[in-house]
Amino acid sequence: MKRLVLLPLLSMAALCSMSAQTLKGTVNDEKGEPVEFATVAFRSLPDSAVIAGSITDVNGQFSIERSGAKNGFVQISSVGYETRDISLADFAKEQSVTLRSDNKVLDEVVVSKVRPKTTISGDAVVTSISGSVLEHAGNSLDVLGKVPGMISRNGTLEVVGRGEPLYYINGRRVTDNSELRNLMSEDIKSIEVVSNPGAEYGGEVRCVVRIRTVKRQGEGFSFALTSQAAKHIYKCHDAEPSWSVLDLNYRKNGLDILGKIVYFNQRFYQVSNIYGETIVKAADGHIKENVQDGYLDCRNHYAGGNVEAGVNYQINELHSLGAKVSYGFNGYANTKMILEDDFITDGVVDDHVFSLNDSRTPKARTVNANIYYDGKINNLGINFNADYSDNQNERETDVDETSWSGPASLKTVSESDAKMAAAKLVLSYPIWKGVLKFGAEEVYVSGDQTYSITHDEIPSSDADMSENTISGFAEYSLGAPFGQFSAGLRYEHVDFDYDNQITPEKSVGRKQDNWFPSFNFSTKIKVVNLNLGYSTRVRRPRYDQMTTEVLYDNRFTYQTGDPTLLNEVQKTLSLNANWQWLTFTAVYEVVDHSIQQKAYPYNDDGIIMVQYANVDDAVRKFSLYLNASPAFGVFYPRYTIGLQRQDLTTEVLDPRVDGGKRSLTLNTPMFFVQANNAFRFKRSWLVDLDYQFTSDNDQLMSSITKPVHCLNLAVSKSFLKHEALNVRLAWNDILDKMRYYFSTDFGNCIIVQDNNSYMPALQLRASYRFNTANSKYKGTGAGQDAKQRM
């Protein structure tokens, strides 16, 4: 670390730890589960004025100052529960408070036991899973795509209008998606979807999903094993993706010893028809049109795994610490691509090229380590994390081409080595009627990239990169009778250096300072729960997007990055509303300097250069989604309809028009329908019939030109005591309609592509749990944004 920015905060922690008279307690529901975001207020008598207030944390714990008041009572309230008033004399004897469900809010008790209950609490849309039909949906990935506020689009889970989220389980950051695969729906208590995260989260975090698990107490040895295998049908029979995840745990008193083994063997297959056209203006004024028309056949095979070990020690209910290390590797990685193209100049075919690309990854490994402390000293909450990451990757590619102009062959070798060290400190302290949370984070990343190619026209490259980010934030949360309020501000300073060892004049160095305000307000108006949120976020370019190396795809297509890319800045306003089984979400977003790939003529010979670049004009987006989750006997439908539209008008270079430029408008809206039909029968049988429709639409500079349909069928059943064994059989993409048709108009370069990945498949998954107990590891990690960019 270049600077020790955490020391001033530690000094502040020592000062804040001196507390006044306080009231401490824990709020639980009728099942003994902690209630988070409950409002706790100390009111004076006889006027019931609020003297002090607080909000319960993830463990349902709270503490508030009495401020010298001798008479009064404690009032505890939360959406979906009956409000409790406890006199000061009684509270001294009752440190643990139980809230009862408010039957009026929950509509009717009988239905709420099987229909997922959705409400708004704090900054999140919260859906209860335990005791609902979703309790037997499979693993957490199966559940996430079916809760309000989430959608599954193009095979990817997204928060509506916000994109892919960061996941947290019981307050701990999920760094490996295998953990989501192995977390079964029976172990999930609730899922919280946050559209506008607060200042505590990094400047690049657009949305967050927090998963709360059912509290299971147990000691001794426990494990959970999940395995999945699939068989593609119709075509691509050799593609048989499979994976297994084994979680191990040994617990004795406050000590936990953790272990995990992950194995994957993935095969992917894609066939694409590609049409590319470049338009250039020759020196004599002649407009020359070069066309690339052909197909791509791509087969990928990846096999590898990940091993993880850790230890956690819970000293008592207020203090815990731990350490964890993981090692990930690719045992086998191979990509074979066949490209066959006709190249046409001014309407005449002047070449036909057949290209075979064979890529291998002889070395690919990742090492991650984390240590943490989580505790409370009087009223001061302390969470500290330190992380280290080391990523090494080497890739070799052989290209053999035949064409009318003769054969050609070349070889490329790409090597990268990136390291990261990070530390993060978060403190929380009750002040007045709420809680102040503040902290700091520092992340240092260094790496080098080398690229060599046996091609005279494309240079090799060698570059070193370093980046140091220092952040500080403060956020205040207040619980009041009229609702819950939080506001925060985050500051990030970034020093970035990109040193080109071969061409020093292309080196780049820059400093950036960014402020990220955030705001959230939740309230209830009669029977409707509401949440309004605002945040400013940034999307920094990935490190591979800033490379200067030129990658060779084929004789007429190159790729490269740009180290001068600007940050993408996003300003977002969101509204969530919930009434019984209806949930409405609206999102409005303004994005400056959007990052995407652009293509342009590299020379007059028809070569296309694909490069990452910023969109010149601001992109305005809005999204509207409505989710309905009623219940009818054994039938539990969950229907989502949505509209998502961007407003982008920009100028593109086009030598075919007067002035060499033309205006391009991209605002075709996306209409979205997701119909999840669940049938729950006796003896733990569950049948899911899910349909999804996405219309043609515009996304930044690209357009999806044809609608996409998907129909899936799944049958699952649980066996053994406590439903320890769950088996799920699924038939995905029954209609074989998950095909994607794209077109991109850059003015002087137009690309049209249709992709078929042959998605129809039979999928079998089995999960077995033995004496499972929730992990008490509370490390949230530091430098997570940098890890994703690496």
Q: According to the per-residue pLDDT averaged within each range, which of 20-29, 59-68, 515-524, 780-789 is highest?
A: 515-524
Q: At 37, phi and psi to the nearest 5?
A: 65, 20
Contact (Cβ atoms closer than 8 angstroms) between residue 596 and residue 700: yes
Note whether 709 and 696 are within 8 A (CB): no
- Specify the pLDDT at position 783: 56
Structural contact between residues 342 and 349, judged by C-beta atoms closer than 8 angstroms: yes
Residue 123: closest CA among 641, 607, 484: 484
Instruction: Indicate if the pLDDT at residue 110 is higher than 50.
Output: no
Task: Please give the Cα distance from 419 to 387 (Å, whole number).
Answer: 11
**pLDDT for residue 46 is more than 60:** yes
Residues near 219 by Cβ (< 8 Å), separated by ≥ 6?
A: 251, 252, 253, 773
pLDDT given for residue 14 in this prediction: 43
Cα separation, 418 vs 410, whole angstroms: 27
Report how many helices (DSSP H) and strands (DSSP E) the chain contains, helices first.
Answer: 6, 46
pLDDT in tens, 388-406: 999 999 999 999 989 888 8
Which residue, 492, 526, 486, is CA-closest to 511? 492
State whether residue 579 is helix, strand or coil.
strand
Nearest alpha carbon to residue 240 among 765, 762, 681: 762
H or E stretch covering 51: strand 50-55
Q: How far apart are CA 270 and CA 236, in angstroms?
A: 9
CB 162 within 8 A of CB 195: yes
How far is it, in rounded angstroms, from Cα 116 to Cα 676? 13
Tell me which amino acid residue 25 is.
G
- Whether the CB-CB separation of 447 and 414 falls below 8 Å is answered with no
Contact call for residues 707 and 701 (beta carbons, < 8 A): no
Position with higher pLDDT, 113 vs 203: 203
Residue 341 · residue 293 · CB < 8 Å:
yes
Neighbouring-strand partners of residue 395: 414
Helix (H/G/I), strand (E/B), else coil: 129: coil
In 692-789, which ranges are continuous DSSP H helix? 784-789
Give 260-312 pLDDT, tens digit per residue. Answer: 999 998 888 889 999 988 888 877 778 888 888 998 999 888 899 999 999 99
Q: Rounded to whole angstroms, how far apart are CA atoms 559 and 589?
A: 30
Residue 20: pLDDT band (50, 70, 90) is very low
And the tokens for 651?
Answer: 């100028």
Q: Is the pLDDT of residue 47 over 70?
A: no
Q: Scanning the structure block, which residue is given the tokens 């049209």?
A: 752
Mean pLDDT for the stretch of residues 596-614: 80
**What is the helix (H) or strand (E) element at residue 112, kind and residue range?**
helix 109-112
β-strands 22-28, 96-98 pairing? parallel
Q: Let me know: does 143 contact 188? Beta carbons within 8 Å.
A: yes
Distance CA 70, CA 84 (A): 20
Contacts of 750 (CB under 8 A, 6+ apart): 276, 277, 743, 744
Q: Name the residue among 696, 610, 594 with its Cα closest to residue 648.
A: 594
The Cα 389–Cα 385 span in angstroms is 13
pTM: 0.81
Average pLDDT, the chain: 84
What is the CA 203 to chain-centroid distance, rounded?
A: 14
pLDDT of residue 69: 63
Separation CA 475–CA 448 (nearest Å): 37
- Is residue 115 over pLDDT 70? no
- Per-residue confidence (pLDDT) for residue 7, from 0 to 100: 43
Q: How far is CA 286 from CA 155, 289, 351, 655, in A?
A: 45, 10, 21, 10
- Per-residue pLDDT at 16 exceeds 50: no
3-state helix, strand, coil in the chain (%, to 5): 5, 65, 30
- The three-state secondary structure class of 135 is helix
Q: Strands (DSSP E) along 199-254, which ranges?
A: 208-213, 220-232, 242-252
Contacts of 603 (CB under 8 A, 6+ apart): none
- Residue 525: exposure state from Cβ atoms within 10 A (0-12, 13-18, ≥19): exposed
Residue type, 765: R
